[in-house]
Amino acid sequence: PIVVRQGDQDSGEIEHCVKKIIKALGEDPDREGLVKTPKRVADSFVFLTSGYTTNLQEIVNGAVFEEEHDNMVIVKDIDLFSLCEHHMIPFYGKVHIGYIPNGKVIGLSKLARISEMYSRRLQVQERLTTQIAKAVNEAVQPAGVGVIIEAKHMCMSMRGAQKTSAYTTTSAMLGVFREDVRTRTEFLDLVRHQPSR
C-alpha cells in the first residue's frame, strides 16, 4: 500500500508545476484570470488526494459495535468523486456497500468515510472497488461484503472516445457474497430497488 504522511504533499511544488503547464500551453500565467490559478489548482489537488494522508483506523475510530444482527446491511447511493490516475481527470458516481454482520456492526457513516478515503487518491475504478470491500472486511470482519460502483469517467466523456452517456460498473464480492449465489442475488436486487419517496 502507498503511505503518504500528512505534510508530504508539496503544494508549493504543485503550484510551480501548474504555472509551468500554463506557460507551456501558450498562456500568460500573470494574466488577471490566471494569477491565482496555480495556487487554486494546488489546493484542489491536495484536497482531492487527501485520502493518502489517512488510514482505516482513523476513519473507523472505534465505531464497530457488538450486535447479534445477522442479516444484510446496505448503504447505497453514496456519492463518489475520484481522479483517474491515467489522465488525472475526474470520475464520479455512486457506490453501494453491503455486508452481513458476524457479531459486529459498523457505524453507517463509516462506510461513506471509507469510500471517501480511497476515492480521494489517484485511482482506477476497479482497484477502488476492491479496496473499499477489503477495508470493510478488515474493519468489521463480516460474513461477507459486496461493493458496486457505477461511475462516469470524464476521461472518456470529454476526450478520447468522447462517449458522454457511458457508465462503468464494477463489483467486488467477498465471503458469502462471492460464495453464495442467493446472497449475491439478494444484494443486487436490493441495490436496484428504489425506495418509495
Tell me the catalytic residues: 84-87, 125, 153, 155
> In terms of DSSP bridges, do strands 122-123 and 144-153 run parallel, antiparallel, or are they unpaired?
unpaired
For the chain, the 3-state helix, strand and coil shares in percent, each to the nearest 5, are 40, 25, 35
> Rounded CA gap, 101 and 16, in Å?
49
Element housing 111 (H / E): helix 108-119
CB 169 within 8 A of CB 149: yes
Q: Which residue has the cell 461511475?
A: 151
- Report residue 172 as a C-alpha cell: 467486488
Amino acid making up residue 56: L
